[in-house]
Chain A
Amino acid sequence: MCLLVTSQHHHALPLSLSSDEGVLLATSLSNAVGSEVFYAQIVHWLLMITAMMLPLLIVPIRQVAFRSYRWRSGKAVAGFIAGYSAVWIITGLFAVEFLGVLAVTGLITGPVTGSIVLLAAAIWQLSPLRGDAMRRCHRSVALTPRGLAADLDCIRFGFSHGFACVMVCFPLMLATMIAMPGITAAAVLAVVLFFERAYQRVYRIIPAAVLTSGSVALALSSYVVLH
C-alpha cells in the first residue's frame, strides 16, 4: 500500500515515482495536475490513508451515525468522511511535492538524513502540540439534526478531526517514508498508531521510543559505513 519513489540515485522512496516523474513533481506541481501520474499518486495516497486511518475512525464514524437520524445517517457519515478526506488530500499534495523535491535534490539518500528525521519525529511525538491534537482526536461534538446545517456540521467535524489526525500521524508517516520506506514500516506504524490512539496513556511513549531507536540505528549504520 505504501507509495514508492525511485530517485535519481535509485533509492526506494515512499512514492511510486520514476526519477522523471519525481522531477516533474518537484519542478512544478501545477504541471503535474491533471496528469495520470498526479492522479495515480492521489489515489495511492488515499488508499494508504484508508488502510492506515480507517481503524482509527470507527469511534467518530459511529458517533456521527448514531447521533443522526437513521434516515440520514449515511449522508452524515459521507459528510464526515468528505471533510476528513479533504484534509488528507491536501496533505497528500504536499507530501508528493515535498518528497519529489527531496528525491530530485538527493537529500534522502543516506542514513544520516533518515536518522535526523526520525529523531525529529520522536521529538514531535512528545511535544505538547501533538498531545493537544491527540486529545482533539477523542473529541465529540453536538450535531444539528437536519438540513444544510446538519450536513455542514458533519463536514466540519470531519475536517477538524482530519486536521487533528494529520497533526498526530503525518509527521511520523513522513519520517517513516523518508527513513524506512516500504510496506513493512508503514504497517508497523499503522499498528503503533492504532494502539497509541486507543490507549494513549499507556502507549504514548512507545512510538517515540521506536522512532528514537530507529534514529540511533541509522546513525550507527552511517557511522559504520563511514569508518
Chain B
Amino acid sequence: MKPAIDGIRVREDVWKLAPWDDTLLWYARAIDSMKQLPIGDSSSWRYQAAIHAYLRSEDPFSSSEDRLPSLSHRRRFWNQCQHGSWYFLPWHRIYLGFFEQIVRSHVVALGGPDDWALPYWNYSDEENPNARLVRPEFLDESLPDGSPNSLAQAERGPTSGASGDFGIEPSDTDLSCLRTVPFRTGRFGVPSGFGGPRTGFQHSGGVIGDLERVPHGAIHVGVGGWMGAFETAGLDPLFWLHHANIDRLWEVWLNRGDQFQNPTDPSWGAPSGTEFEFHDATGAIETLTADQVVDTRAPVLSYEYEDISDPMPTAGLAREELIMEKGPAMLVGASEETVRLSSTPTSVNVQIDPTAMADNRAALAEGEPQRAYLNMENIVGAERVSSYKVFVNAPENEPEAQTNYAGVLPMFGLVEASRRDDPHGGSGLTYVLDITDVVDRLKQKNEWDDKNLKVTFVPKQRGQAGAGVREGARVGRISLYYR
C-alpha cells in the first residue's frame, strides 16, 4: 500500500498489490464494520449501495426489521445513479469519493491507516495475463486469520471453478472509447461521445456514452449477479474497484492530448448544472457539481491514480468525426419491425432507402468522408440478459467473423430502463455504434451492398445465472445513419 504524499492518496492497481496487501485487508474489515450498521445509517454498506439504486424486492438483505429512511429522504439521496448522461462520470466520481471517505473512517476506527484509498481493477491491462480475472482475495471464503471474507460475499455469475474467470473477453475490456472525441454530443443518430449525452438529472435513458458502454457496462454484465443490476451492484465489493477504473480511464482520456476535453457548457457544472447531494463520513450533507470534481487532487477528493499512461499510444489519434459543429446524421435505412433477441444468433435485414441515400449524397460536401452509425433504438426487456455482440453482413457459416464485428451491447440497465417508472417512461436503452471502419472493410472485400445490410446479434450467454435467455430483449428498431 502506497502512502499518501502531501495529503494526496494513491489509488493502486489491484493486480499489482501483494497477496492480501493492507489495502485489501483493511477494505475487507471496513466492509464488515459497515455491514454492522443499519440500512438507515448513511455510513452503512447497504445505504451506500442504495445511493446507486434501491428496490426492496431486489434487496438480498431485506428484512422485516429494516427501518428504511423516510420516503422524502430516499427520494433525495437514493436511486441517484446517473446513466446515459454526461453526468455519468462526475456523479460516479463524487459517489466513489464519499464512499472512499466512509470506508477510510471505518478503517481508521478499526486502527488502520488514515491514507487508505480504493484500489482499481485494470481488466484492460494487456501486459497482465490475469487482468480479466477476479483477484483471489475476492473469491476466498476467509481472510488469512480465518475470519469470514466480506470481499467474497456477493452473488456473481458462473465462473470456471475458483479461477476467478467469469468469462470476461477482450471485447468486454476494449478501450476504443479512449479514441472518442468529444466528451458529449446531443445529436440524433450519432454516438453520444466519450462521457455521454447532454441531459438533466438522469437515472437512466439517453444514448449510452462510449466509456459507459464498454468497458463499463460490459464488465457489469460480465461479472453478473449483483453487479448486473443497478439496485444490487453496489453490494458487491468489486463494484467499487470497477468504477475506480472507469474513473481512472476518464483521467487517461483527458491525458491523451489537447482535443480530449471536458465539457465547457455552463450547464454541466455550476451555476446552472445539476447539483448532487451526498453524505460524508460524518453524516453531514455535501452538495457538489460536476465542475468541482474535474481535478482528483481537489481537497474534496484528494487522490490520484498510480498509472494514467496511455494504453494505446500507437493508435493515439482521436476519432474526429463526432465534432459537434458538423451537421446532424441522416437516417438512410431502418428495420421494419421490432426484433426479438434470443439465446441463439439473430439476424435482421435492414433495408436502405434509395431516396434517403441520394439525399445524404447531396448533403455531403465534395471529398467529405462519410461516416456510418448503427443505431439500436429502444431496446426493452423484463429480465436481465447477457451482452450481445453485433456483426454486420456476417456470412452464414461464420456469424462471428472479426471483419464483420461492430461492437458489444452490454444491456446493463435494460430492466431499469424498461420500467414504466423509469424517468423516460420505459423507453429502454439506445446504443449507437460507429461502424465506418466495418463498412470500409466490407467495401474493400466487395461485401457491402448499398441497398441492404444484415445485422446479426450473437449472445454471449453469460451474466446472471439463468437470466437473459428466457424472455430475451426486444430491439424497437435497428437503423443506419450516415453523415
Residues on A close to B: CB < 8 A? 62-63, 66-71, 132, 135-146, 149, 164, 198-202
Which residue of chain A has the shortest Cβ distance to B351 in the bound complex? A145
Q: With the chains together, A86 CA to B426 CA distance in Å? A: 24
Q: Which of B352-372 contact A (CB under 8 A)?
A: 353, 355-356, 359
* CB-based contact B356/A71 at 8 Å: yes
Are the CB atoms of B421 and A141 closer together than 8 Å? no
A69 in contact with B205 given A62-B188, A138-B424 (CB within 8 Å): no
Q: How many A-B residue pairs have CB under 8 A?
A: 84
Contact in complex: A69, B425 (CB < 8 Å)? no
Instruction: Check B378 against A141 for contact (C-beta < 8 Å).
Output: yes
Complexed CA–CA distance, A202 and B188 (Å): 26
Asked if B331 CB lies within 8 Å of chain A CBs, one says: yes
Chain A nearest CB, measured from B474 CB (Å): 10
Q: Determine the residue in chain B with the shortest Cβ distance to A133.
A: B425
Q: B77-96: which have CB < 8 Å to A?
A: none
Residue of B nearest to A204 (CB): B75
Contact B378 A142 (CB under 8 A): yes
Q: Is the CB of B353 within 8 A of A146?
A: yes
Complex formed: what's the CA distance from A41 to B120 in Å?
65
B interface residues with partner A (beta carbon < 8 Å): 187-189, 200-201, 205, 274, 328, 330-338, 353, 355-356, 359, 377-378, 420-427, 430, 476-477, 479
A132 near B356: Cβ-Cβ < 8 Å: no
Closest-by-CB residue of A relative to B189 is: A66
Is the Cβ of A66 less than 8 Å from the Cβ of B331?
A: yes
A107 CA to B476 CA, complexed, in Å: 49
A109 to B189, CA, bound (A): 54
When C-beta atoms are compared, the residue in chain A nearest to B76 turns out to be A201
The distance in angstroms between the C-alpha atoms of A189 and B395, with both chains bound, is 58
A residues near B328, Cβ cutoff 8 Å: 66
Q: Can you pick out 14 interface pairs between chain A and chain B where the beta carbons lie within 8 Å of each other?
A: A67-B377, A70-B356, A132-B420, A135-B422, A135-B425, A139-B424, A139-B425, A140-B378, A140-B424, A144-B334, A164-B425, A199-B200, A200-B423, A201-B201
**Of A70, A71, A136, A144, most B-chain CB atoms within 10 Å:** A70
Q: Are B331 and A142 in contact (CB under 8 A)?
A: no
Which residues of chain B come closer than 8 Å to A145, judged between CB atoms? 331, 333-336, 353, 477, 479
Interchain CA distance A146-B333 in the complex, whole Å:
10
| A68 nearest CB neighbor, chain B only | B331
Give A215 to B336 CA distance when docked, in angstroms: 51
Whether A135 contacts B200 in the complex (CB less than 8 A), given A63-B188, A69-B355, A145-B336, comes out as no
CB-CB under 8 A for A142 and B338, given A63-B188, A70-B331, A136-B425: yes
A140 to B201, CA, bound (A): 17
State A135–B133 Cα separation when bound (angstroms). Answer: 40
A135 and B420 contacting across the interface, CB-CB below 8 Å: yes
Are A139 and B426 in contact, with the CB atoms below 8 A? yes
CB pair B427 A140 closer than 8 Å:
yes
- B359/A138 in contact, CB under 8 A: no
Cβ-defined partner of A132 (8 Å) among B330, B378, B421, B427? B421
Q: In the assembly, what is the distance between CA of A139 and CA of B425, in Å?
A: 5
Chain B nearest CB from A113 CB (Å) reads: 31
A63 to B328, CA, bound (A): 12
Q: A70, B377: Cβ atoms under 8 Å?
A: no
Identify 16 new A-B residue pairs, CB closer than 8 A, beyond the known A70-B331, A142-B477, A201-B201. Answer: A66-B189, A67-B377, A67-B479, A69-B355, A70-B356, A70-B359, A135-B425, A136-B425, A138-B423, A139-B424, A139-B426, A140-B424, A142-B476, A201-B200, A202-B201, A202-B274
Q: Which residues of chain B are near A199, meaning CB under 8 Å? A: 200-201
Chain A residues with Cβ under 8 A from B188's Cβ?
A: 62-63, 66-67
Instruction: List 5 A-B pairs, minimum CB-CB distance, nearest first.
Output: A142-B476, A66-B188, A142-B477, A139-B425, A145-B334
Asked if A70 and B421 sit within 8 Å, CB to CB, the answer is no
Instruction: Kindly provide the distance from the CB of A49 to the nearest chain B CB, expressed in whole angstroms.
Output: 22
| A84 nearest CB across to chain B (Å) | 16
Do A135 and B331 contact each other (CB < 8 Å), given the known contacts A69-B356, A140-B378? no
CB neighbours (8 Å) of B479 from chain A are 67, 145
Complex contacts, A140 vs chain B, CB 8 Å:
377-378, 424, 427, 430
Give chain B residues whose Cβ lies under 8 Å from the Cβ of A137. 425
A174, chain B: closest CB distance, angstroms: 24
Complex: how many Å from CA A164 to CA B355? 35
> Which residues of chain A come closer than 8 Å to B359, judged between CB atoms?
69-71
* From B201, B331, B336, B423, contact of A67 by CB (8 A): B331
Please name the residue on chain A nearest to B380 by beta carbon.
Answer: A142
Query: A198 touching B200 by the CB < 8 A rule?
Result: yes
Q: Is the CB of B189 within 8 A of A138?
A: no
Q: Which of A140, A164, A199 is packed against the most chain B CB atoms within 10 Å? A: A140
Q: A164 — which chain B residues lie within 8 A by C-beta? A: 425
Closest to B477 in A: A142
Chain B nearest Cβ from A170, distance in angstroms:
18
Measured CA separation A161–B233 after assembly (Å): 34
In the complex, the answer to whether A70 meets B330 with C-beta atoms within 8 Å is yes
Query: What chain A residues lie within 8 Å of B335 (beta carbons)?
Result: 145
Taking the closest CB of chain B, its distance from the CB of A24, in whole angstroms, is 40
- B427 to chain A: closest residue by CB: A140
Of the candidates B205, B331, B430, which one forms a contact with A138 in the assembled complex, judged by CB atoms under 8 Å apart? B205
